Chain A
Amino acid sequence: MSRPYAKLPRWIDYGLIPLVNLVVAFLVAGLVVLLVGESPLQAAVLMLRGAFGYAEGFGFTLYYATNFIFTGLAVAVAFHGGLFNIGGEGQAYVGGLGVAVVALGLGAILPWWLNLPLAIALSFAFGALWAFIPAYLQARRGSHIVITTIMFNFIAAAFMVYLLVGVLKPAGSMAPETRTFDAGGQLPKLKGLFDLFGFNLGGAPLNVSIFVALLAAFLVWLLIWRTKLGYEIRTLGFSPRAARYAGMSETRLIVVTMMISGGLAGMMALNAIMGDQYRLAIDFPQGAGFVGIAVALMGRGHPAGIVPAAVLFGMLYQGGAELAFDMPAISRDMIVIIQGLVILFAGALENMFRPGIGAAYQRVRFRTEEPAGESVGEAR
């Protein structure tokens, strides 16, 4: 992405500007709360209390955050390659099929710790497969990846409904979902672990897949910044022409990047299906694929930013659910607005405050013409 504005020190670029964008997004969200006749401050307090105030709420927050780490990483990997993957929702949905295949087929035979790696592999594979066609079409036929991934979200939804209503539904059942998985298809909750430290997670569905998510975050960092493939992906993102002149295969890179992205989105199903619901049901991703866009933009594409951003959105999801009890006017759909505002201010309008902040910084720097101020400018 071209950046027509002057370069600024890293702490402004990666710290101050995202923070300002986030604050503005929340201020606008606060206006919406005012508009429906509630106090934004009180809403924020209630939300924070619901998300962090007690152990069970915190467990839910981290459970949601796990989903968003996966989808956020998925969007971020594609972003590094200059690709915008809006299809995380569909890829996660189809990834659920991979998890269900393992859990339904081997749930009664193998223990969970053997099924987990299989489910990881299969959910990754199914998600990657769902991203393969848009990627291939982008690379070879020049069709726009944004449009094709949106279309594939709808196709995935129709496809999964077809499977759930027809093939996967147990005989005699009316609900469009699979049967409940056997014990080997259920990931253990972290209740016992937290009990050791004296926290009672209660019914929170936090489970071992959060460790998978954190591992995935580390591996994405490793991939993007420490491997040859990651270097190639970033080159493709900065300048496809440079990648071409350097002899990198654009087709291969686009397809591989998108498949990694789709695979990460698919792994989100581990948490939702194997970790919580123990069955594959209609529309289980519940928008997590889209939240990934906001998470990736807020985290600036870096796992170290994505994990906290995912926790923030986990907080919004959990706190928002709690908030709805005390303020019936504010349902969980408030999160969708906040999500949109974060995408707007941290993504599309990221240049809005940059010139102002840049000018202010330059003015401060010139006025305090000291070695300390100078060294900050020189540091990059």
Chain B
Amino acid sequence: MDLSSFLDLIDSTIRLSTPLLFAALAGLYSERSGIFDISLEGKMLIAAFASASAAAVWGSVVLGLCVGILASIAFSLVHGVASITYRGNQIVSGVAINFIAAGLTIILGQSWFGQGGRTPSLFGGGRFTAVNLPGAEAIRDVPVIGPIYSGVLSGQTPLVYVAFLMVPLTWWVLFRTRFGLRLRAVGENPAAVDTAGISVTWLRYRAVIICGVLCGFAGAYLSTGQAAGFTRDMTAGKGYIALAALIFANWKPVPVMFACLLFGFLDAVSIRVQGVDLPLVGQVSVQFVQALPYILTVVLLAGFVGKATPPRAGGVPYVKER
């Protein structure tokens, strides 16, 4: 494998892990506050649809992003109402949201645009375009550094940079601010937070809303950054892979980034490995590589590669003592 195809692989790894990163960080906020969220998938999907629709109608990708985030927040609030206010089963609520999003995007898409659930193709201002970092052209011909800087680091869509900047930001919010401390506390021991006079409900609602915002970014990236428009069921399980990355990373921001890069890398490899003879193993079937993230997650969950410890109060509705 020469340098340029290797860099190509790294480049697509970054692009494929960006939506996972947004979604996994979204899940991080929610689950750290004690609200399990398997509806990342559904929220990404509805956001992808909403932002592509808005961008197609108004021709503005920024407007699209905003609409996508709003749609995702709306679904987050449904999850919040069900699991915080009405103390319902969080898993059941998440499953419901995934179905509603899957059906709604197709029905509305068909009724609005009449293209079998697709939105019209986006062009011009309707898409996120590549950002060229300063000096990318100038050092393109410098060996090694040149191609890395101008081929991989530069020339990504803005949302890619946002996603990777979200990682230190999330770390700072969670571990260096009062809000973050309380957020983590409410996921471990809500009764203690309540005793300290802080509203468990409001804290968890804020976490769920942040989750919605980040899922909105993830969806908008899929339909207006990576692709040029929405296609039916375009998340294709990415929400679950993000969830897997979150568990894999033990609910910590920086490991989440590496887990997402790993799963993005597997995705990038699975496209390239088809029909290629590898040393030792021979031809690896595409299906195996595609299933690898899921298999890895199961192996990890089984505790064979380190132990996953979820937030202690996760999934348990908080009942204030009367």
Contacts of B1-32 to chain A: CB distance below 8 A: none
Chain B residues closer than 8 Å to A331, beta-carbon distance: 106-107, 110
Q: Are A141 and B297 in contact (CB under 8 A)?
A: no
Contact B86 A349 (CB under 8 A): yes
- A330 and B111 CA atoms in complex are apart in Å by 8
Residues on B with beta carbons closer than 8 Å to the beta carbon of A137: 298, 301-302
What are 12 A-B residue pairs whose CB atoms fall within 8 Å in the complex? A32-B107, A143-B302, A147-B297, A152-B294, A158-B287, A158-B291, A331-B110, A333-B102, A336-B102, A337-B100, A348-B83, A349-B82
Q: Which A-chain residue is minimally distant from B298 (CB atoms)?
A: A151
Q: Which of A222-230, A268-276, A339-347 contacts B (4 or more CB under 8 A)?
A: A339-347
Task: Judge whether B183 is part of the interface by a CB distance below 8 angstroms.
Answer: no
Is A4 among interface residues, defined by CB-CB distance under 8 A? yes
- Let me know if A200 is at the binding interface, CB within 8 A: no
Q: Given A158-B291, A339-B99, list of 7 further CB < 8 A pairs?
A: A152-B298, A154-B294, A336-B106, A337-B103, A347-B93, A347-B95, A348-B82
- Do A1 and B89 contact each other (CB < 8 Å), given the known contacts A336-B102, A341-B100? yes
Q: At the interface, yes or no: A198 with Cβ under 8 Å from chain B? A: no
Size range of the chain A interface in the assembly: 35 or more
Q: Are the CB atoms of A335 and B103 closer together than 8 Å?
A: yes
A36 within 8 A of B: yes
Q: Is the CB of A144 within 8 A of B301?
A: yes
Q: Roughly how many angstroms separate A102 CA and B82 CA in the complex, as a whole number?
A: 45
The 8 A-B pairs with the shortest beta carbon distances in the complex, nearest first, are A340-B99, A336-B103, A348-B93, A143-B301, A337-B103, A340-B100, A344-B96, A158-B291
Most chain A CB inside 10 Å of its own CB: which residue of B101, B237, B302: B302
**A344-B38 contact given A37-B111, A158-B290, A290-B99, CB 8 Å threshold:** no
**Contact: A141 with B303, CB < 8 Å?**
yes
Asked if A325 is at the interface (CB within 8 A of a chain B CB), the reply is no
Contact across chains for B97 and A344 when beta carbons are under 8 A apart? yes
Q: Which of B96, B243, B295, B301 contacts A341 (CB 8 A)?
A: B96
Which residues of A are found within 8 Å of B103, using beta-carbon distances?
Answer: 333-340
A333, B107: Cβ atoms under 8 Å? yes
> For residue A344, which residue of chain B has the nearest CB?
B96
Chain B residues with a Cβ closer than 8 Å to the other chain, count: 49
Inside 8 A of B108's CB, which chain A residues have their CB? 35-36
What residues on B are CB-neighbors of A350 within 8 Å?
88
Query: Is A150 interfacial (CB 8 A cutoff)?
Result: yes
A155–B294 CB distance below 8 A: yes
**Chain A residues within an 8 Å CB radius of B82:** 344, 348-349
Inter-chain contacts of A37 with B (CB < 8 A): 111
Contacts of B302 in A (CB 8 A): 137, 141, 143
Q: Which residues of B sit under 8 angstroms from A206, Cβ to Cβ? A: none
| A86-130 with Cβ < 8 A to chain B | 86
* Complex contact B111–A329 (CB within 8 A): yes
- In angstroms, Cα B237 to Cα A7, docked, is 40
Q: How far is the CA of A349 from the CA of B321 in the complex (A)?
A: 21
Q: In the bound complex, how far is the Cα of B92 from the Cα of A297, in angstroms?
A: 9
Those of B269-311 within 8 Å (CB) of chain A: 285, 287-288, 290-291, 294-295, 297-298, 301-303, 308, 310
B104 near A32 with CB under 8 A, answer yes
- Are B107 and A147 in contact (CB-based, < 8 A)? no
Given A35-B108, A36-B111, A336-B102, the answer on whether A143 and B308 have CB atoms closer than 8 Å is yes
Most B CB atoms within 10 A — which of A134, A152, A340, A351? Answer: A340
Task: Contact check, A343 vs B291: say whether CB atoms are below 8 A apart.
Answer: no
Within 8 Å by CB of A150, from B38, B101, B288, lies B38
Q: Does A148 contact B (CB under 8 A)?
A: yes
A218 CB within 8 Å of chain B: no
Task: Enumerate chain A residues within 8 angstroms of B308, measured Cβ to Cβ.
Answer: 143
Once the chains are docked, how many angstroms separate the CA of A350 from the CA of B86? 8
Minimum CB distance partner of A343 in chain B: B96
- Given A155-B291, A337-B100, are A36 and B107 neighbors across the interface (CB < 8 Å)? yes
Q: Does the CB pair B95–A337 fall under 8 Å?
A: no
Task: Give Cα A364–Cα B318 distance, bound, in whole angstroms.
Answer: 31
Asked if A312 is at the interface of the complex by the 8 Å CB criterion, the answer is no
Cβ 8 A contact of A162, one of B288, B298, B301: B288
Say if the beta carbon of B77 comes within 8 Å of chain A.
Answer: no
| A159 proximal to B (CB < 8 A) | yes
A209 to B: closest C-beta gap in Å: 26
For residue B145, CB closer than 8 A to chain A, the reply is no
0/1 per residue, B64-104, Cβ < 8 Å to A?
00000000000000100111001111111101111111111
B117 cross-chain contacts in A, Cβ below 8 A: 333
Residues of B within 8 A of A335 (CB): 103
Nearest Cβ in chain A — how far from B271, in angstroms? 15
Which residues of A are found within 8 Å of B310, using beta-carbon distances? 144
Cα distance A159–B298 when bound, in Å?
15
Contact B288 A352 (CB under 8 A): no
Q: Are B301 and A147 in contact (CB under 8 A)?
A: yes
- In the complex, which of the residues A4, A133, A146, A337 contacts B104, with contact meaning CB atoms closer than 8 Å? A337
Contact partner of A330 (CB less than 8 A), chosen from B98, B107, B285, B291, is B107
Given the complex, which residues of A lie within 8 Å of B102, measured CB to CB?
333, 336, 340
Contacting residues of chain A (287-339) with chain B, CB-CB under 8 angstroms: 290, 293, 297, 329-331, 333-339
Q: How far is the CB of A185 from chain B (nearest CB, A)?
A: 26
Tell me, rounded to whole Å, the shortest Cβ–Cβ distance linking A68 to chain B.
14
**Binary CB contact string for chain A from 161 to 189 against chain B (1 if under 8 A, 0 otherwise):** 11001100000000000000000000000
- Does B268 belong to the interface (CB within 8 Å)? no
How far, in angstroms, from A339 to B100 measured CA to CA in the complex? 8
Q: Are A158 and B298 in contact (CB under 8 A)?
A: no
